[in-house]
A and B are shown apart, each in its own frame.
Chain A
Amino acid sequence: MVRYVMGRLAQGVVVVFVVVTLTFILIHAAPGDPLTSLANEPNVRPEVVEQMRRNLGLDRPLHVQYVRYLGRMLRGDLGVSLTQHRSVAAAIRDAIPNTILLALAALLIDFGIGVSAGAFQGAHPRSRRDRTLTAVTITLYSIPVFWLGMVLLFLFGEQLYWFPVAGVTDPVTYPFRSGLGKVADRLHHLVLPALTLGLAGAGYTARQQRAAMIEAIGQDFVRTARAKGLRERLVVGRHALRNALLPTIALAGLAFPALLSGTVLVETVFSWPGLGRLAADAIGRRDYPIVTGAALVAAVLVVLGNLAADVATRIADPRTKPAS
Chain B
Amino acid sequence: MSRLRLGITLVSLLAIVAIIAPLIAPYDPTVQLDLATLRNAAPSFAHPLGTDLYSRDLLSRLLYGARISLLIGLLAVAISVSVGTSVGLVAGFSGGVIDIVLMRIVDAGLAIPKIFILLVVLALWEDVTVAVLIGILGFTGWFGVSRIARAEVLSAREREYVAAARALGAGPIRLIARHILPNIAAPIIVAATLGVGQVILVEAGLSYLGVGVPPPQPSWGNIIRDGQDLIRTAPWISTTAGLAIVLTVVAFSILGDGVRELLDPRER
Partners in one complex: yes
Residues of A within 8 A of B (CB): 14-16, 18-19, 21-23, 26-27, 30-32, 34, 36-37, 40, 125, 138-139, 141-147, 150-151, 154, 158, 214, 256-261, 264-265, 268, 276, 279-280, 282-284, 286-288, 291-292, 294-295, 298-299, 302-303, 306
CB of B210 to closest CB in A, whole Å: 6
Interface of chain A, main secondary structure: helix
Contacts of A292 in B (CB 8 A): 120, 123
Interface positions, chain B 98-129, Cβ under 8 Å from A, are 104-105, 107-117, 119-126
The 23 listed contacts between A and B (C-beta, < 8 Å) are: A18-B108, A26-B120, A31-B126, A32-B126, A138-B253, A141-B249, A142-B245, A142-B248, A143-B249, A144-B208, A144-B246, A147-B208, A147-B224, A147-B241, A260-B113, A261-B113, A261-B115, A261-B202, A265-B209, A280-B119, A283-B122, A284-B209, A306-B111
Taking a contact as CB atoms under 8 Å apart, the answer to whether B123 and A283 are in contact is yes
Number of A-B contacts (CB under 8 A): 168
Report whether B112 and A141 are in contact in the complex, using a CB–CB cutoff of 8 Å.
no
Determine how close the nearest CB of chain A comes to the CB of B236; give it in whole angstroms.
Answer: 13
Least CB distance, A323 to chain B, in whole angstroms: 28
> Is the CB–CB distance between A280 and B231 below 8 Å?
no
How far, in angstroms, from A264 to B109 measured CA to CA in the complex? 18
Could you give, for residues 238-262 of chain B, a 1 whenever the CB lies within 8 Å of some chain A CB and a 0 otherwise?
1101100110111001100000000
A302 and B253 form a contact (CB under 8 A): no
Within 8 Å of chain A (Cβ to Cβ): is B232?
Answer: yes
- Which B residue sits closest to A27, measured CB to CB? B124
Residues of A within 8 A of B108 (CB): 15-16, 18-19, 21-22, 299
In the assembled complex, the CB of A113 is this many whole angstroms from the nearest CB of chain B, namely 18
Complex contacts, B116 vs chain A, CB 8 Å: 260-261, 264, 279, 291, 294-295, 298-299
Q: Which residues of A lie under 8 Å from residue B104 when comparing CB positions?
A: 14-15, 18
